[in-house]
Amino acid sequence: MRRREFINRTGMAGAAVFTNLQGFHPFAGSLRADDTETVNPTDHGRALINPDMGWTLHFYSNGLRNYGSRLEPSDTVDDFPGLSVVYLRIPWSFIEYEEGKYHWEVLDTPAQRWISAGKKVAFRITAQESGIRYATPQWVEKAGAKGYDWGRREGEMLWEPDFNDPVFLEKVENFISAMARRYDGNPNVAFVDIGHYGLWGEGHTAHSTHIEYGLDVISKHIDIYCRHFKNTLLCISDDFVGHDAPGNRFPISDYAFSKGVTIRDDSILVQNYGMPMPSWDQTAKPAPWFHSGMAQLFWPTLPVILEHEHYGSSVRKGAWDKDLFVQSVEEYHASYMSIHWWPREFLDENRDAIDRINLRLGYRLQLRSVTWPKQIRPGAPFEINAGWANAGVAPCYPGGFPCLTIKDLKGGIISVLVDESFDMKDLRVDAPGKALTFTQNSRFTVAPLYTDPRRDNFRDVPAGDCEIFISAGRRDGTPTLELPYEGDDGNKRYKLGNIKILERASISG
């Protein structure tokens, strides 16, 4: 069935099929073993930095002190394997200190440190916190927005906005409009949380007023973000449906999915399920996480984001478990995982689990085998047979096309050959060690002859020994995806071996 779907999409019958690795025949088609070279590249086992996946470092975690405050301005934690995003989660009042006056510098300064290091940024701006009274700027309340005093912090009452108040919603939309003008469609932004609803922006009031809001209200918050962030991935916390609500499908999460909004789960290893629940939450059932079932709707088309409990807090509660930490990535088919603690302390104490996760987090494109002719001649078609697999837990959402690049011995590019019949996003996801191999049979021609006699009948291609490289990326041959192999030329092209270009055959007539 999968083969037929591929043929229908490409119109190239016999171009590619899925098969088990044991059934892969590298000399399929017209290639003969004595005329070819075959390699079976070995995965180097290290973390990859690729779009729509990786570790997200909490530089701000609901305040300015956690967890980037100890880092020097030049320190982007490059030693943390797989770190791809710096995550900035702070209250709204820290940015829009007066109506229409914005302190973007608090976001842009740490963001630019990581962007300069080739990484990306993600945001959550919150309207309610447990550490300060006014996560929503006080001027919003003075403008007439209603709210509730619900608790006390260091002698100061905490304030929760009425999340359906029209004044509050108007001011939120004005802010999101301004934020989107700055960041929507910015290629350096990985994702943005819908964060103006619920305590800590998690989408619940379970730990504050316990006021319940339905889909009619929550959808207003989702719609505000969707109206303005039209070109950047948005996400909501799983707690929007209820922080421990049992079940897999909910009207709220279904609505978010229908709008192209993905989910994040902030509940990983929060609870010690061997201890009694806190007094304010006796109805909750202890669990290492709550909504892996919900993620099954999202992960086939949208990257799922996970956040574990503040690591130190999880350890103190006896909730931390490395094996469960790894298992959460499997159950959610997660593409992003947080670094929710002082990063190097977290790395030093969990390196073995981090290394295990890096072999599965997001997608991991493997070139299992590739066969090419030892010699080719300009203008004469030749075949490449390759076996590809995705060893990760999630699809390759950005997609990418395999590309063969031939270089001379000085590193100059002789030919760029892209197979557009095969998109990496089509590679299946399976259990560890079970990924199917996709057999790709490609037919290429270097410097083909023109059929129109009024044009030059060929371009010059120097004969001689060359090197052959493989990559995955855009249709024009620009590499965009890191592969788990040695031999990178510095531009995500990986050397396979050598190939000889012969003189062009003589042209009669």
Vertex 357: Cα angle to 399 and 54 (nearest 5): 45
Position 280 scores a pLDDT of 39
157 exposure class (CB count in 10 Å sphere: 0-12, 13-18, 19+): exposed
Position 12 scores a pLDDT of 30
Task: Give, for 498, the enclosing helix (H) or strand (E).
Answer: strand 494-501
For 500, residues 6+ apart whose C-beta sits below 8 A from its C-beta are: 374, 375, 376, 464, 465, 466
Question: Which three-class secondary structure state does DSSP give residue 264?
Answer: strand
Residue type, 331: E
Which pTM was predicted? 0.91
Per-residue pLDDT 10s for the chain (509 aa) are 232 222 222 223 233 333 333 333 333 344 455 699 999 999 999 999 999 999 999 999 998 989 999 999 999 999 999 999 999 999 999 999 999 999 999 999 999 999 999 999 999 999 999 999 999 999 999 999 999 999 998 889 999 999 999 999 999 999 999 999 999 999 999 999 999 999 999 999 999 999 999 999 999 999 999 999 999 999 999 999 998 888 999 999 999 999 999 999 998 999 876 554 444 344 455 689 999 999 999 999 999 999 999 999 999 999 999 999 999 999 999 999 999 999 999 999 999 999 999 999 999 999 999 999 999 999 999 999 999 999 999 999 999 999 999 999 999 999 999 999 999 999 999 999 999 999 999 999 999 876 665 665 557 788 999 999 999 999 999 999 999 999 999 999 999 999 999 998 765 54
The secondary structure of 301-326 as a DSSP string is: TS-EEEEE--HHHHHHTT---HHHHH
Contact yes or no for 400/480 (Cβ under 8 A): yes
Task: Give, for 387, the enclosing helix (H) or strand (E).
Answer: strand 382-390
Position 449 scores a pLDDT of 77
> How far from the centroid of its chain's Cα atoms is residue 172's Cα?
27
Q: b/e per residue, 29-55, with b = 16+ CB within 10 A?
A: eebeeeebeebebeeeeebbbbbbbbb
